[in-house]
A and B are shown apart, each in its own frame.
Chain A
Amino acid sequence: MDSPNNSENAIEVSGLNIYYDKFRAVKNVSIAIKQKKVTAFIGPSGCGKSTMLRSLNRMNELIPSCHTEGKVDFLGQDIYAPNVDPVEVRKRIGMVFQKPNPFPKSIYENVAWSARINGFKPGLGRPSMDEWVEICLRKAALWDEVKDKLHQSGLSISGGQQQRLCIARTIAVQPQIILMDEPASALDPIATLKIEELMRELADEYTIIVVTHNMQQAARASDYTAFFTMDEDRSGILVEYDKTEKLYTNPSDSKTEAYISGRFG
């Protein structure tokens, strides 16, 4: 496979349809996500943007009634091809969820566990586990706040800190893409700001796709924005996808304009 730097797109989705039983939640979406950028999915609630996001690392398969049609190419390889192991996919495309969900283990273990199950090899020329936990927590801008209480429960810290712990835990697996499903919706404004800053910093190293229903957040933190809405069958469709600046200042679709100016949704 090519080195990831050769291709500009991290993910190329074409003709994606996602169903819950008979209901089509996402209809015919095609989109190319740029590498090492922050891409935001925005749109009214129920428009399938979270479903869409979960299909990018095959998390949607954990819902029995859900099935997917179409192609999702990750660095040129279809992740829905029959011989692809979803575990392999998820290891490279990590995910951070709406509500912080640290494991009921210590802060240290939350990070170390995810590295360990993926066969983390400490030793010569590589960081030790302690160092690796520190590196990840630093990258998640959490280290200074928790370095004295690494062995307290991951549930003992504040919600914003928990969410950054979840990000640190995801980084510990060294993914290429991090999916974030409304990562700040359960947090207060200050914690939200910290997460947004973190997203920008992480974009140096990772491709980030974030679902948000906060338009200011998308405007502040993302390079690209995709706007989804529902069609008459209540299926989610992609309306417009462009550089964030362009989409907010000069949308080409009237529905986008209506949404970002607050007239519907």
Chain B
Amino acid sequence: MNQPGYQPYFSVNLPGRQALSKVWRSLFLVTTAIAVVFLVILVGTLINQSVGYVAIETKTPIASLVSDGHSLEELDKAELVTLLQQNLTTGRYNTLNASEPMETRAKSDLVNLVYTEVLEPEVQETWLLTESIFHGNRIKAEAAELHPDALLQFKSWLNFNLLKTTQSSDPLASGIRTALLGSIWSILITILVAFPLGVGAALYLEEYARDTWVNRMIQTNINNLAGVPSIIYGMLGLAIFVRTLSVITSGAAFGLGSGGSENGRTLLSAGLTLALLVLPLIIINTQEAVKAVPDTLRQASYGLGATQWQTIWYHVLPNAMPGILTGTILAISRAIGETAPLVVVGAATYITFDPNNVFSRFTTLPIQIYQWSSRPQAVFQHIAAAAILVLLILLLSLNSFAIVLRNRYRK
């Protein structure tokens, strides 16, 4: 639509302006694409690290146990037990027998025992998934040349053994069992402490607190606490739970704990520290959920002669519960992934036994990942990647559960 002369004061150059508009639009699109690409690369890196070729050499050649071309699986149970008796020291055999008698063990278990105890496999070299797929032949040639006695295996580091076994200096036998249990125990403590405290605080602020300077200060304080770096909570946990309250957190006061010594570096300290960390998040999320409950509901309840607590308990809480649970789950998944505060509180660097009470020494999944990642050997990077995948799957399923919950109850 050109009307020369009608708008004498203007020179519009619309095509130029529209072109500029398009350029910027694509720029914004590109930034968004970059964010997505990062996520893809991150997941790609993890998968790339957690599957691939491995060259494994056994200390005892397999040919010395079974005749050529046959495998351990072809032997029967009695033969496997004999193999174990012949090749292990009597002490080791008795230990294994004591933990579970050879007769009652499954055959696959016996095969495993022969494999790890007698053959003693050792990782010589590992390859990434991309290398394994695109340069398979080169890897085979390389392996044949550099590690002639080794067996080249296509291995997924993410497997059930990873979940079942404890950590070990042998990467092939290393697992996350202790760490996973430690994570679960500490999170349970966190939930038990932070959930009632957090919901209570939110109810106080939303339902009881008047607009006084004290309550405004509490609110501001909670908002500020949510932004405090997690490592500061670690320092707080170290000062209060590990040191000042060590009589309690070590279990010494109850005659429990490890060796009666007052060592506060326990699951209880870890769980409590994480509870302080997520408390502000739970409070803020719960407040949002409680705020969303319509006032008409409260008025209706009061109108029927209910007390304030009856109103909260029978009307406010049930209506806010999906929101509260969603917020809590999100806060808890934050706690599951936390590493720094627990390093400060004193997670154990090497621990192989399952926690049996809250006064146990502990490690958690993120800490295990941190320790494996810091190792120089490449093989531990693969295990770390597999452990990360376990952690991410755990968090993702928690989060999707929270989202399903939220969508289900949203009217």
Contact = CB atoms under 8 A, between A and B. Distances in A.
Interface string B259-290: 00000000000000000000000000000000
A88 interface: yes
Interface centre among A77, A117, A120, A132 (most CB of B within 10 A): A120
A55 to B, nearest CB: 17
A91 B8 contact: no
Given A1-B1, A84-B1, A85-B18, A91 B12 contact: yes
Interface string A1-30: 100100000000000000000000000000
Contacts of B13: 119
A176 B7 CA distance: 10
B11 A87 contact: no
Interface string A113-124: 001011111000
Interface in A77-126: 77, 84-85, 87-89, 91-92, 115, 117-121, 126
Interface centre among B1, B6, B14, B17 (most CB of A within 10 A): B1
Contacts of A121: 9-11
B10 to A, nearest CB: 5
A125 to B, nearest CB: 9
Contacts of A68: none
Contacts of B10: 115, 118-121, 173-174
A87 B18 CA distance: 9
Contacts of A92: 1
A212 B216 CA distance: 45
Contacts of B8: 126
B1 A77 contact: yes
Nearest to A121: B11
Contacts of A118: 10, 12
A127 interface: yes
A115 B7 CA distance: 11
Contact of A119 (B6, B11, B18): B11
A87 B15 CA distance: 11
A165 B6 CA distance: 24
B3 interface: yes
A29 to B, nearest CB: 23
Interface centre among A77, A115, A119, A120 (most CB of B within 10 A): A119
Given A85-B14, A85-B18, A87-B18, A127 B9 contact: yes
A60 to B, nearest CB: 19
Interface string B1-41: 11100111111111001100000000000000000000000
A85 B13 CA distance: 13
B14 A126 contact: no
A176 B8 CA distance: 13
A174 B7 CA distance: 7
Interface residues of A, number: 23
A162 to B, nearest CB: 25
A91 B7 CA distance: 10
Contacts of B17: 87, 117
Nearest to B5: A3
B1 A88 contact: yes
B9 A174 contact: yes
Nearest to A132: B9
Contacts of A87: 14, 17-18
A118 B9 CA distance: 10
A120 B11 CA distance: 6
A235 to B, nearest CB: 29
Contacts of A4: 3, 6
B124 to A, nearest CB: 60
A182 B264 CA distance: 71
A143 to B, nearest CB: 18
Contacts of B6: 4, 174, 176
B9 A1 contact: no
Contacts of B12: 91, 118-119
A65 B305 CA distance: 47
Contacts of A117: 17
A74 B6 CA distance: 15
Contact of A126 (B2, B9, B18): B9
A1 B18 contact: no
B25 to A, nearest CB: 14
B357 to A, nearest CB: 58
Interface string A123-155: 000110000100000000000000000000000
A127 B8 CA distance: 11
A117 B13 CA distance: 10
Contacts of B9: 115, 120-121, 126-127, 132, 174
Nearest 10 A/B pairs, CB to CB: A119-B11, A119-B12, A174-B7, A119-B10, A118-B10, A121-B11, A88-B1, A126-B9, A1-B3, A77-B1
30 contacts: A1-B1, A1-B3, A4-B3, A4-B6, A77-B1, A84-B1, A85-B14, A85-B18, A87-B17, A87-B18, A88-B1, A88-B14, A89-B1, A91-B12, A92-B1, A115-B9, A115-B10, A117-B17, A118-B10, A119-B10, A119-B11, A120-B10, A121-B10, A126-B8, A126-B9, A174-B6, A174-B7, A174-B9, A174-B10, A176-B6
